[in-house]
């Protein structure tokens, strides 16, 4: 399905844009998603009100790897969740809701399926939070998403429309899957001792690959998660070397991640142009709240900045630890905001706990499954 068809079949989906706030303070029926949607006048644009830190909220959106069969169960009763899944079926060309609820797991785990699934389920969790605790939505001043979670955060912030962002996620996932199939590669989760030198370990792994005759081997840090927590990605032979020499490298624990390729490394270069191309064709606006980029942890400043960073993100490490420092840095004695992880899993809460225990004390997980 191309973008023009996406716009036509999804024109009934609407995104929040009124005086109250961005996505979070609005109903999906307020503003059409179509690209010819008129922009509000300057006096109608939501104002960013200053809030006491203890009364503000931060939303964190998870990424690929957080998905599981059964997510989304019970969420159809909230807000626009049912309509979101109906639109997803038209944009994607398959029944995403059925895949989330019933699997099969081997299909849900595929990059082409799990990225759209996490994207939609995360925004479904926002609908649940908006129903159960609307004050959390109204008081949100900042958001960040891990990898594909950035698209969820940008939709939430009003920078993208739901259906168009979903189409971009579809293109992104397909391009990443295709790039993964070109080289035998993967990702390795590493927890190291304080003296571990991750970059030097990658150098050694690349040298090992060269000794095997591999041309231009790739082995780099792909995710900065928390102090002494990294994900290293690259050629399979490089990851095998790191696991086999983990003791000498001061790695306490290593685990191969169940993903199809070396995401956020140079091996994803073939996926950059397809994503850049689709981002140029959809409507992207300046976020109405602070949304932080994975590339450097800094806030997005304007629409072109969003597009450039999202394309660059594919071949750059996710600097999640640095992003958390940017979000939660404050003067001594100043209160921390309430943090909500919206989407499947609790991985981002776990990383927050390891990076900033004081901020974690105000953490809440918004589950994507109702008991």
Reported as a single tens digit per residue, the pLDDT across 294-322 is 999 999 999 999 999 999 999 999 999 99
Write the pLDDT tens digit of every residue in 242-284.
999 999 999 999 999 999 999 999 999 999 999 999 999 999 9
Residue 62 has pLDDT above 60, yes or no: yes
Residue 50 has pLDDT above 60, yes or no: no
Q: 147, 246, 290, 316: which one is catalytic?
A: 147
Mean pLDDT of the chain: 89
Whether residue 147 lies in the annotated active site: yes
Residue 51, judged by CB atoms within 10 A of its CB (0-12, 13-18, 19+), counts as: middle
Whether residue 264 lies in the annotated active site: yes
Residue 24 or residue 356, greater confidence: 356
- 111's CB contacts (< 8 A; 6+ apart) are 64, 173, 176, 177, 180, 259, 260, 261
| H, E, C per residue of the chain | CCHHHHHHHCCCCECCCCCCCCHHHCCCCCCECCCCCCCCCHHHCCCCCCCCHHHCEEEEECCCCCCCCCCCCCHHHCCCHHHHHHHHHHHHCCCHHHHHHHCCHHHHCCHHHHHHHHHHHHHHHHHHHHHHCHHHHHCEEEEEECCCHHHHHHHHCCCCCHHHHHHHHHHHHHHHHHHHCCCCEEEEEEEECCCCCHHHHHHHHHHHHHHCCCCCCCEEEEEEEECCEEEEEEEHHHHHHHHHCCCCCCEEEEEECCCCCCCCCHHHHHHHHHHHHHHHHCCCCCCCCEEECCCCCCECCCHHHHHHHHHHHCCCCEEHHHHHHHHHCCCCCCCCCEEEEECCCCHHHHHHHHHCHHHHCCEEEECCCCC
- Residue 18's pLDDT band, with cuts at 50, 70 and 90, is very low
What's the pLDDT at 2? 62
CA distance 236 to 277: 30
Do 187 and 256 touch, CB atoms closer than 8 A?
yes
Distances from the Cα of 227 to the Cα of 27, 132, 320, angstroms: 39, 34, 11
CATH of 53-180+266-366, one of 3.40.366.10, 3.40.47.10, 3.40.50.2300, 3.30.565.10: 3.40.366.10
Q: 113, 235, 264, 292: which one is catalytic?
A: 264
What's the pLDDT at 371? 81
- Residue 55's pLDDT band, with cuts at 50, 70 and 90, is confident
The class level of CATH for 184-257 reads: alpha beta
- Residue 36's pLDDT band, with cuts at 50, 70 and 90, is very low
Percent of the chain with pLDDT over 90: 84
- Residue 157's pLDDT band, with cuts at 50, 70 and 90, is very high
Residue 130, judged by CB atoms within 10 A of its CB (0-12, 13-18, 19+), counts as: buried
Residue corresponding to tokens 């970059």: 199
53-180+266-366 and 184-257 have identical folds? no
Residue 53, judged by CB atoms within 10 A of its CB (0-12, 13-18, 19+), counts as: middle
Distances from the Cα of 34 to the Cα of 10, 177, 282, angstroms: 8, 28, 10
What are the residue boundaries of the structural domains of the chain, listed by start? 53-180+266-366, 184-257
Write the pLDDT tens digit of every residue in 96-129.
999 999 999 999 999 999 999 999 999 999 999 9
* The model's pTM: 0.89
- 138's CB contacts (< 8 A; 6+ apart) are 20, 21, 24, 25
- Count of CB atoms within 10 A of residue 220's CB? 22
243: Cα separation from own chain's centroid: 27
């Amino acid at each position: 399905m191309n973008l023009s068809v996406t716009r036509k079949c999804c024109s009934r989906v609407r995104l929040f844009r009124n005086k109250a706030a961005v996505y979070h303070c609005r109903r999906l029926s307020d503003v059409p998603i179509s690209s010819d949607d008129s922009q509000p006048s300057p006096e109608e644009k939501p104002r960013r009100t200053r809030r006491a830190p203890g009364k503000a909220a931060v939303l964190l959106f998870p990424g690929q790897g957080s998905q599981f069969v059964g997510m989304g169960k019970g969420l159809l009763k909230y807000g626009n969740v049912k309509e979101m899944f109906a639109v997803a079926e038209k944009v994607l060309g398959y029944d995403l809701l059925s895949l989330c609820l019933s699997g099969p797991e081997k299909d849900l785990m595929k990059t082409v399926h799990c990225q759209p699934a996490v994207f939609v389920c995360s925004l479904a969790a926002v609908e649940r939070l908006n129903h159960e605790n609307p004050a959390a939505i109204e008081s949100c001043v900042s958001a960040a998403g891990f990898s594909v979670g950035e698209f969820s955060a940008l939709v939430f912030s009003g920078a993208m429309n739901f259906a168009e962002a979903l189409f971009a996620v579809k293109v992104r996932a397909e391009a990443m899957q295709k790039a993964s199939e070109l080289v035998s590669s993967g990702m390795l989760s590493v927890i190291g001792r304080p003296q571990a030198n991750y970059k030097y370990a990658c150098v050694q792994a690349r040298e090992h690959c060269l000794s095997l005759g591999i041309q231009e081997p790739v082995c780099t840090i792909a995710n900065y998660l928390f102090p002494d927590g990294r994900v290293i990605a690259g050629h399979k032979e490089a990851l095998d070397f790191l696991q086999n020499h983990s003791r000498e490298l001061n790695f306490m624990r290593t685990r191969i991640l169940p993903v199809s390729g070396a995401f956020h490394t140079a091996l994803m270069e073939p996926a950059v142009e397809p994503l850049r191309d689709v981002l140029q064709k959809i409507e992207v606006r300046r976020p109405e709240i602070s949304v932080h980029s994975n590339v450097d942890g800094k806030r997005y400043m304007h629409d072109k900045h969003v597009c450039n960073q999202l394309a660059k993100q594919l071949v750059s490490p996710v600097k999640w630890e640095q992003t958390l420092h940017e979000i939660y840095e404050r003067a001594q004695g100043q209160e921390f905001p309430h943090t909500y992880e919206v989407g499947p899993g609790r991985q981002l809460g776990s990383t927050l706990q390891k990076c900033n225990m004081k901020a974690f004390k105000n953490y809440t997980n918004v589950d994507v499954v109702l008991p």
